[in-house]
């Protein structure tokens, strides 16, 4: 009887596994570029390619892994839907002709995720941690009923402990304090820090606790949101995490200047941020919350305040809502588009939108860091600049320090401030959120901030960029090949 050649058997089994994985990739992955990237990994990198795909490649967008439903009664949901649509379009019509230009954008967000367009909001743009943390601490000190926090990065450093002490003080006063943190991004507060909060009465939970068996997958799906909601009517959202590096305090050894933007919203614009928090809380905490009236409190604001609409997305979304919102906003612009982002790996649809806008005569300006905190991401981003420059997009690289803001201004009418970068991770994998302010005053203020940042930036010369070293182009294009996996 001939002996079995186990090596050949193993090869056959492995080939069958590769075929099955390739079929799954083709069936499960929506993006053709991602499909090709995962297929190349699986076929040409034995074993490791398959492991990488199952670690970061599985699309959870169509899986019931998360639930955002707070209201289970179907009839009540329908009544709320009708009320939200009516109030949103009443708000849009109340601001005149300039508001009607964005009717399609507001309708898309409403239909996609039932996020209302709210009016009579007081909006305050906050620059850097110096302004932001001061306003946050003031709002925490004024809290009467509850404080809800949700952060990607919350560090065990000076500013982190300052906010921790304020939360403990309010919890001892009887204010309900709830805190969600990303288990990967806020790993420095997992031990003693979080225990001190718990012992003081703060309810604190990681959004997605990392365990060994699920390590890679849960690292991949990160809660990148930065949300604070106080008493249901005052909220904060934007790019600023809780960490000393955002304060630019040289006395504490901060050497790199961090430029970032946050926003404080007072009024009904806070309601959907509260809704997001409650959904996330019910996912990660055994202490389930219901949408009680006290979580959605009215705060009197003078007539003529800002129109605010909130957009969120993540593996719990039926569609990439933030990407769709950006595409629609760019497509609606008539004169000018100003974008600030620390990471620019846009994908085909966003690239096409920016190129079309520029070729149509719209002034498109992109502000990015001169030096990124990731050389690989930096190289991948550079590979996209050629096509943009050829289409007339002006690209500026910030040199004063590291620019971490995520903002968009369209026609000095629409201002966007959020947590999402211009990359595939933010659009597809991370839990993100951003605020849209339809208000000429707010948009003009954010435009002034953009122009002020340009004073510390260097514009890329299209001719010089085109004639940079060939080896550099090769490295950048190589990085771009796997940029859909970043």
- The residues carrying an active-site annotation are 224, 226, 231, 404, 406, 411
Structure tokens at 344: 């620019």
- For residue 105, give every residue at least 6 positions away whose Cβ sits within 8 Å of its Cβ, in sequence order, or none: 325, 328, 329, 332, 414, 436
H or E element that contains 386: helix 375-390
DSSP type of residue 120:
E
Interatomic CA distance for residues 103 and 414, integer angstroms:
12
**Please, which residues bridge with residue 397 across strands?**
368, 458
Interatomic CA distance for residues 435 and 445, integer angstroms:
15
> Mutual orientation of helices 347-359 and 321-332 as an angle, nearest 10°?
10
Interatomic CA distance for residues 25 and 291, integer angstroms:
39
Helical spans, DSSP H, in 3-127: 6-28, 32-44, 48-56, 74-93, 97-100, 103-113
Asked if 321 contacts 442 with a C-beta cutoff of 8 angstroms, the reply is no
Structure tokens at 98: 């300039």
Structure tokens at 131: 């302004």
Residue with tokens 């690292």: 219
Comparing CA positions, the residue from 85, 477, 435, 452 lying closest to residue 272 is 435
Comparing CA positions, the residue from 145, 114, 138 lying closest to residue 124 is 138
The phi and psi torsions of 94 (rounded to 5 degrees) equal -70, -15
């Amino acid at each position: 009887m001939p002996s079995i050649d186990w090596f050949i058997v193993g090869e056959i089994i492995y080939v069958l596994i590769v075929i099955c994985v390739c079929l799954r990739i083709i069936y499960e992955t929506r993006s053709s570029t991602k499909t090709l990237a995962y297929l190349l990994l699986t076929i040409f990198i034995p074993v490791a390619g398959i492991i990488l795909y199952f670690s970061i490649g599985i699309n959870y967008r169509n899986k019931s892994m998360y639930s955002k439903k707070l209201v289970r009664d179907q009839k009540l949901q329908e009544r709320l839907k009708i009320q939200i649509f009516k109030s949103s379009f009443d708000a849009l019509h109340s601001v005149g002709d300039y508001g009607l230009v964005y009717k399609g954008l507001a309708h898309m967000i409403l239909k996609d995720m039932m996020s209302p367009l709210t009016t009579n909001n007081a909006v305050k743009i906050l620059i850097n941690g110096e302004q932001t943390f001061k306003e946050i601490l003031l709002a925490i000190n004024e809290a009467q009923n509850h404080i809800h926090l949700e952060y990607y990065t919350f560090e065990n450093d000076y500013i982190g402990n300052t906010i921790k002490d304020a939360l403990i003080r309010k919890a001892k006063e009887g204010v309900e304090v709830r805190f969600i943190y990303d288990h990967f991004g806020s790993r420095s507060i997992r031990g003693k820090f979080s225990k001190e909060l718990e012992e003081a009465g703060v309810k604190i939970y990681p959004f997605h606790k990392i365990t060994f068996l699920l390590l890679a997958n849960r690292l991949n799906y990160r809660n990148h949101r930065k949300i604070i909601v106080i008493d249901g009517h005052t909220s904060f959202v934007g790019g600023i995490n809780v960490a000393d590096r955002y304060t630019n305090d040289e006395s504490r050894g901060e050497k790199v200047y961090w430029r970032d933007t946050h926003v404080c919203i007072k009024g009904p614009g806070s309601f959907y941020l509260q809704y997001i928090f409650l959904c996330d809380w019910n996912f990660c905490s055994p202490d389930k919350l219901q949408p009680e009236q006290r979580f959605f409190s009215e705060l009197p604001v003078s007539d003529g305040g800002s129109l605010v609409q909130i957009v969120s997305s993540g593996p719990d979304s039926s569609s990439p809502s933030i990407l769709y919102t950006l595409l629609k906003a760019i497509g609606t612009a008539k004169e000018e588009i100003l974008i600030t982002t620390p990471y620019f790996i846009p994908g085909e649809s966003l690239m096409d939108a920016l190129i079309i806008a520029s070729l149509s005569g719209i002034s498109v300006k992109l502000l990015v860091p001169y030096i990124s905190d990731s050389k690989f991401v930096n190289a991948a981003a550079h590979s996209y600049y050629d096509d943009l420059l050829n289409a007339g997009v002006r690209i500026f690289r910030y040199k004063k320090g590291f620019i971490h803001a995520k903002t968009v201004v369209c026609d000095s009418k629409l201002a966007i401030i959020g947590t999402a970068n211009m990359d595939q991770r933010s659009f597809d994998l991370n839990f993100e959120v951003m605020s849209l302010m339809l208000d000429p005053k707010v948009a003009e203020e954010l435009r002034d901030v953009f122009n002020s940042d340009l004073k510390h930036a260097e514009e890329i010369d299209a001719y010089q960029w085109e004639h940079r070293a060939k080896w550099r182009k090769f490295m950048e294009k190589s990085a771009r090949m796997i940029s859909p996996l970043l």
